[in-house]
């Protein structure tokens, strides 16, 4: 039974690996650039909307275009966006965001917070942004070669 389970898992792995390779090979460099530009445009649409209508609150309410402190009042969307700003190479917005966080982010506030959301969005956002910003060349190299793995 264990052998059959192992064989099925191995076959599933091979199937997923071959599909990933086929999908990666099915996108031309021109299409990849177009998709990249679309993703960049969508990110900035969301980020600029948050900065204009909701910052420094946690989140943007999309229908009312108002801000909301849902998870502690830590400007969560800003923190959560740091790694994307770093990956996009947007040094100006990344730097101004980090400066704002350094001056204004405080954890000595008596509030009830979601441990899960705080862990993934605050801790995860700060750690990933630090990793990407501190070793940008290595991260970009890893990301560009991981397509072929």
**pLDDT tens across 37-62, in order?**
999 999 999 999 999 999 999 999 98
Q: Check pLDDT > 60 for residue 142.
A: no
Percent of the chain with pLDDT over 70: 74
Number of domains in the chain: 1
- CA-to-CA separations, 137 to 4, 89, 94, in angstroms, rounded: 43, 11, 16
State the pLDDT at residue 15. 67
CA angle 96, 140, 147 (to 5 degrees): 135
Range of the domain at 68: 2-146
Q: How far apart are CA 74 and CA 70, in angstroms?
A: 9
């Amino acid at each position: 039974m264990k052998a059959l389970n192992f064989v099925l898992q191995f076959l599933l792995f091979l199937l997923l690996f071959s599909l990933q390779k086929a999908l990666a090979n099915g996108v031309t460099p021109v299409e990849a650039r177009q998709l990249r530009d679309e993703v960049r445009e969508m990110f900035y649409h969301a980020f600029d909307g948050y900065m204009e209508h909701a910052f420094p609150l946690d989140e943007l309410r999309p229908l009312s275009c108002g801000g909301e402190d849902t998870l502690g009042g830590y400007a969560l969307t800003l923190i959560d966006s740091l790694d994307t700003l770093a990956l996009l190479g947007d040094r100006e917005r990344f730097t101004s965001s980090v400066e704002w966080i350094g001056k204004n982010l405080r954890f000595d506030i008596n509030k009830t917070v979601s441990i899960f959301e705080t862990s993934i969005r605050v801790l995860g956002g700060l750690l990933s942004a630090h990793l990407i910003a501190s070793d940008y060349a290595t991260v970009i190299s890893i990301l560009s070669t991981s397509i072929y793995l």
